[in-house]
Amino acid sequence: MPIGIIGGTGFSQLPEFDLHREEVTTAFGAVTVLSGSFADKEVVFLPRHGAAGRLAPHQIAYQANIAALQSLGCTHILATNAVGGIREDIEPGHLVVPDQFLDFTRQRPLTLAEGSDEEIPHIDVTDPYCSYLRRLIAEQAWEAGLVVHQDVVYVCTEGPRFETPAEIQMFAQLGGDVVGMTGVPEVVLAREAQMCYASVGVVTNYAAGITGQTLSADEVHELMDQLRSRLLALLTGTIARLDPDADCLCPFK
Ligand code: HPA
């Protein structure tokens, strides 16, 4: 079974690897993925923002992406996301592995079961991110000498604008640690599709109002460019070690 990789901002291509393009048809539209071998494992790479990296967070075909990985037989998904640090100790250049999310999106698909007469998908998201994959990513990051924060609460906003400092203050009071625009509903749909899912967040900036500086997309891309090779090494190591039969707390196991 291939391992799914969903590449986020600054991680839309894997030119170093011998992957071939594949068009997958799903009930939610067609998706182009790259399939092949990576770290000696079979993988399917899906650039979340499209091959050219141009899709805005609210334009991403979250349902089609997860349905495509499901139809290709993926049981595990590793995702990357650029995030802003809400806590001062979560600095640009650090990594985070979320274990919870707060959903502040507004107009995104909520389920893969939309419009179908299947059972109402009241799925359990007590532990939305796979415990095994989270541990694997964190161990791999420590071994590579990277600063990685675990047990992090990811706040997902609708975007594409950045947040106001007042919003960030509110998120901080609610327990949010980092903020991004693409983690939800991806994690929810993956759970619904019964796939183990975890994300590694790359902290590209302090969230609005934390340092008093204004934010720009260029700043996010510049930091991603700097961290890209380290992130790639982290993913390669994680995939090399990933045992698809390992135990985890995901409720469908
Ligand atoms: N806010 C939302 N999304 C982000 C940020 C941010 O500060 N940085 C990277 N993605």
Global pTM reads 0.96
Would you say the CB of residue 180 lies under 6 angstroms from ligand 1?
yes
Give me the pLDDT at residue 150, please.
Answer: 97
pLDDT tens by residue, 160-187: 999 999 999 999 999 999 999 999 999 9
pLDDT at 121: 84
Residue of 80, 168, 181, 182 with the most ligand 1 atoms within 8 Å of its CB, for mutation: 181
Give the range among 9-13, 142-146, 180-184 with minimum mean pLDDT: 9-13
Indicate if ligand 1 lies below 6 Å from the C-beta of 209: no
Instruction: State residue 61's pLDDT score.
Output: 96
Whether domain 3-241 has CATH 3.40.430.10: the reply is no
Q: What is the pLDDT of residue 13?
A: 83
Instruction: Say whether pLDDT at 118 is over 80.
Output: no
- What is each CA distance from 24 to 21, 57, 73, 81, 94, in whole angstroms? 10, 21, 12, 23, 34
Ligand 1 atom, smallest distance to 207 CA: 7
Predicted local distance difference test score (pLDDT) of residue 40: 82
| Cα 181 to averaged position of ligand 1 atoms, centre (Å) | 7
- Work out the pLDDT band at 53, boundaries 50, 70, 90: confident
Minimum CA distance residue for ligand 1 atom 10: 83
pLDDT for 120 beyond 80:
no
Q: Please, what is the average pLDDT of the chain?
A: 94
Q: What is the distance in A from the centroid of ligand 1 to the CA of 31?
A: 25
